[in-house]
Amino acid sequence: MSLKALINNQSLIIDDHKWGAKEEKNWDKSSNDIHIDKKTKYPIDGKKQDVRIKIPINTDREITISAKRSKISEVPRRLRKEINDAFENKKIRDSFIKDLIPILENFNSNLDSVEKAKEVLNRISKHFDLEWSSQTIENHLKGALIELTQVYLDEDNKQYYITLDKRKIKISDVDRWTRQRKNIRRQ
């Protein structure tokens, strides 16, 4: 069992939630809202819309959903089931959070070197059952690493990617737009 169902035709964004600003890093404190943002297209009122689902990972807060153009009072049953199924296994959830804590606590240092950035991506990828491919895309500015994208494959050779930059980690499948924008080769 893995968290891969969360990224099929969707994106997850993990950011430091301002943890790099010397704020208290206490996962157990309920006032610290540590969450994952899930972005997807979903039909609402008969139209496919971009929606954002906020998945709390350090509290028992409810999962919330929002859309740019519509008010949504409740997460659709299919999306809620997908999220609950992915996180219902305590061992899988705790393992993911255990690997996520040091990444978030030291978020500003994750791009200190290509090796360190790759280690971060490797820690995340294992929770989604993704295998490292030969495609790594590095972006530098004035000699400093500012973004690292690694392309991954699943057991069906479907491509996914994880991008780490100074603000976030994005995990998604490779679509046509991403392939062109990031210059990702087909396998």
Note the pLDDT tens digit of each residue in 145-180: 999 999 999 999 999 999 999 889 999 999 999 999
pLDDT digits (tens, 9 = 90+) for 55-78: 887 777 788 888 877 778 788 888
- Amino acid 16: pLDDT: 55
Q: Order of strands, edge to edge, in the sheet holding 144-153?
A: 64-67, 47-56, 35-44, 11-15, 168-173, 159-165, 144-153, 131-141
Half-sphere exposure of 178 (CA within 13 A, CB side): 19
For the chain, the domains span 4-182
pLDDT surpassing 60 at residue 21: no
Task: Provide the pLDDT confidence category of residue 30 given band limits of 50, 70 and 90.
Answer: low
**pTM listed for this prediction:** 0.85
Amino acid symbol at 112: D
Summarised one tens digit per residue, pLDDT across range 116-145 is 999 999 999 999 999 999 999 999 999 999
Q: Of 120, 118, 129, give the one whose Cα is nearest residue 99.
A: 120
